[in-house]
Structures are given as C-alpha cells and as structure tokens.
Amino acid sequence: MTKERIILGIDPGTTIMGFGLIKVVGKSMQFLQLNELDLKKYDDHYLKLKLIFERTIELIDTHNPDEIAIEAPFFGKNVQSMLKLGRAQGVAMAAGLSREIPITEYLPKKIKMAITGNGNASKEQVARMLQSMLGLKTLPKNLDATDGLAAAVCHFYNSGKVSVGKSYTGWDAFVKQNPNKLG
C-alpha cells in the first residue's frame, strides 16, 4: 500500500501569508488547496502575529499535514521589514513545532529553481508553472498563495535528497541547531 502524505507550504508575511497544500501518493503529487491570510486591514503587528499563528494551527488541525515547507526570509536592505518577516515566519514555525510537525525552510531562489528551473524567476512565472503542473483552473489575484504552494511543491521535489535546507522536528531540534539565536 502506497503511503500518502500531506505537505503544507507557507509563504510567511505580515501583509499577506500565502499557503498551499498538496497530497503526495507514491511519486506523484495532487493539488489540495491554496489560499492566503490577508492582514492588510490590521495595524497592530502583534495582532497580525497572533492571527498568523492561529491560522497556521487551524490549517494543521484541519488538514493534518505530515510536513511543513516554509519560505525562509531573504536578506533585504530594510531591517524593519526583515524583522517583521522573520517574526511572521517564526510564529508559523512555532505553530508547526507545537504540533510536532517536521518543518523545512527553503530560500526563495531554491523554491523558484525547483519549480521553474530558474532561481531568478518572477512570481508570475512560478504561478504559471504551478498552474501547468497541477492543472489549476485559475490563479489567485495575489501570488502569495502560489508562493506558499510553491514551497510545498519544492519540498516534494527535494524529499529524499540528502540536503534540503534547515529542518526541525521539534523544539529540541530547533534549539540544538540554533544555539546562538536563543540568547
């Protein structure tokens, strides 16, 4: 009997958090869902973080993913933006870790490379390639949702390879792998 697994992909953000789910059966993947959490109407950064955590928990409890793939923040020039993005990623990761779901981080270039073969592909190119691969009828207005789905598909393509990025199986593993980040 072929084992099924569900992968939740997350593109963290404090304006829009995109996410997508795929089901893997053997060596094939099947599209389940993509959507976004729109946080534009909220001014309070801490409320946004709370909503990201709660939505991630809700996705986990509803879909029971076996693994989570999350886009890692890239290094930008704006320190405040990086801080906010890192916090958004952190609370999404904390939600997964609280449910003991293995998490793997992927750099944006690695995700784009896995989907399009080009690490510098645009969001639109990634979305169109996913549409073709998974038979999506339409694409969302904002492409954060397809970015989340792309993280899940990237994880599918990288499953079983020796080096996939940073992976955490729980709080203990996170602490051991990040001793300098915690004080």
- Judged by DSSP in three states, 46 sits in helix
Active site residue 124: no
b/e per residue, 110-148, with b = 16+ CB within 10 A? bbbbbbbeeeebebeebbbbbbeebebeeebeebbbbbb
CA gyration radius, the chain: 15
Active site residue 11: yes
Q: Report whether 54 contacts 39 (CB < 8 A).
A: no
144: annotated binding-site residue? Answer: yes
Tokens of 173: 């593993």
Instruction: State the Cα–Cα distance between residues 155 and 70, nearest whole angstrom.
Output: 9
Catalytic residue among 36, 67, 105, 144: 144
172: annotated binding-site residue? Answer: no
Q: Report whether 65 contacts 102 (CB < 8 A).
A: no
Catalytic residue among 36, 71, 105, 147: 71
Active site residue 71: yes
Instruction: State the Cα–Cα distance between residues 120 and 13, nearest whole angstrom.
Output: 20
To which residue do tokens 């970015």 refer? Answer: 147
Catalytic residue among 11, 36, 67, 147: 11
71: annotated binding-site residue? Answer: yes
Active site residues: 11, 71, 144
Q: Please give the annotated binding residues for Mg(2+), written as ranges.
A: 11, 71, 144
Q: Please give the annotated binding residues, written as ranges.
A: 11, 71, 144
